[in-house]
Structure 1
Amino acid sequence: MFSRIEGILREKGESSVLVEAGGLCYDVLLPRCVGDKLRTVNVGDPVKLEIFSYLQIDGNRGSAMYVGFTNAIEREFFEALLTVASIGPKTAARAFSQPMAQIARYIDDGDQASLRRLPGIGGQKAKDIIAKLQGKVARFGLIQGEPQPQRAETTPDFVAEAIDVLLQLQYRRAEAERMAREALANNGKVSTAEELLTEIYRRQQPTAMKPAPSSGTRG
């Protein structure tokens, strides 16, 4: 196990990178917010990542797993998430999809609705995170270079519920949120998840072809 890797970027995936160091290649899992910061790093470029290492047990087999971060403070925040009993490394990596300062603000404010929207975090895990970490993570919002989060309007519960259904139907989160937003803009009377899903479904249907107007019969 090691805590930092410095080498050459050999491959870039959607949620991981392959880094060559010392003649070996290491597959490093990247939380989405970390991957976003590495967009300008190209294959063949040098790269340095702080690493959280853990052993994943699958039956009788153990595999070393590595999660990468751009700095040690991000890794420390990730480790703080792991102190929550219901949060494991994979769940924490998925949830780390927004800037650290923003997630820390959600926790410090007790903003359960915003935490629920993080990938892999449902209602119970959001409660667990707040119960364990509220009042303990404010300093993580002070890291240099992290954009200060803006207070967004709280998404109504019925909208979050409808988005959760769309995610279960294999829609991507960004697409599900866009569909919900457009449906609400089109029909402001929607007030339940069922009504919202019905409106979304209606908007996805192709517009029925109207019959061409009759030219009439010439006498």
Structure 2
Amino acid sequence: MLVQVRGIVEAIGKDWIRLDLSGWVIQAYVPPSVLARARIGEPITLHTTLVTRMEGHGLLFTLYGFADEDERELFEQLLTVNGVGPRAALALLGLSAPTLRAAIAQEQVDVLRRVPGIGPKTARAIILHLKDRIGAVSAPGVPIPRADDTEIIAALTALGYSVVEAQAALAHVPPDPNLSLEEKIRLALSYFAGPRR
């Protein structure tokens, strides 16, 4: 079972990175937490899950990589919920693992629905299926996403950025209640202008 890889970042995409493992090059789909710290030419460690599914007459293997064990565990738990596939689980991790755990523990349907592709029925299924299995109630100080987060993501995706990129940029916006929506969007856009890779 492939549970962890270490390698040099060779390329970075909208929701994936390629790693050179001493001559072997692999591609893994990753959440915003990994994209935010990945730099081309630098080493990185991923905690991984290999997902298999039938496609046509054969098996398709897809590798997913995470910043830590907690993210990987959450990803695998999300996959046990009916209606949640790997891409939806990856998008949910854009909330951050602690925020996602808090939203499930506190039955925050609206928080889960802010993730693109997650409707009210799926959000309720996630809470019903995982609330008693998630193992951690929100710690004090874990932020629940604000109402304008959805608008910031919508603005960035309207400009052509992917949902994963928008969520990564949103993670770099300070949680200052005195900032206007326009200022937050400007700060999120500045994430793409900086030397990230």
- TM-score if structure 2 supplies the norm length? 0.70
CA contact (8 A) 1:105 1:141 kept: yes
Alpha-carbon distance change, 103 to 15 in structure 1, aligned in 2, over 3 angstroms: same
Alpha-carbon distance change, 163 to 153 in structure 1, aligned in 2, over 3 angstroms: closer
Please tell me whether residue 51 in structure 1 is matched to residue 53 in structure 2.
Answer: no
Alpha-carbon distance change, 168 to 8 in structure 1, aligned in 2, over 3 angstroms: closer
Corresponding letter in the other structure for 1:73: D
Shift of 1:67: 0.6
Alpha-carbon distance change, 2 to 105 in structure 1, aligned in 2, over 3 angstroms: same
Corresponding letter in the other structure for 1:133: L
1:62 is aligned, of 59, 65, 70, to: 59
Alpha-carbon distance change, 20 to 79 in structure 1, aligned in 2, over 3 angstroms: same
In percent, how many aligned pairs have the same letter? 26
CA contact (8 A) 2:102 2:144 kept: no
Find the aligned partners of 2:33 and 2:152 in 1 and give their Cα distance: 21
CA contact (8 A) 2:47 2:69 kept: yes
Taking only aligned residues, the RMSD between alpha carbons, in angstroms, comes to 3.2
Alpha-carbon distance change, 86 to 4 in structure 1, aligned in 2, over 3 angstroms: same
Q: How many residues align?
A: 165
1:77 is aligned, of 68, 74, 81, to: 74
Instruction: Give the aligned partner of residue 121 of structure 2.
Output: 124
Please tell me whether residue 96 in structure 1 is matched to residue 93 in structure 2.
Answer: yes
* Larger radius of gyration between Structure 1 and Structure 2: 1
Shift of 1:170: 8.4
CA contact (8 A) 1:97 1:119 kept: no
Find the aligned partners of 1:140 and 1:5 in 2 and give their Cα distance: 30
Instruction: Give the aligned partner of residue 12 of structure 2.
Output: 12
SS at match of 1:96: helix
2:132 is aligned, of 135, 138, 145, to: 135
Instruction: Give the aligned partner of residue 143 of structure 2.
Output: 150
Alpha-carbon distance change, 127 to 80 in structure 1, aligned in 2, over 3 angstroms: same
- TM-score if structure 1 supplies the norm length? 0.64
Alpha-carbon distance change, 35 to 163 in structure 1, aligned in 2, over 3 angstroms: closer
Find the aligned partners of 1:137 and 1:127 in 2 and give their Cα distance: 14
Corresponding letter in the other structure for 2:7: G
Corresponding letter in the other structure for 2:28: V
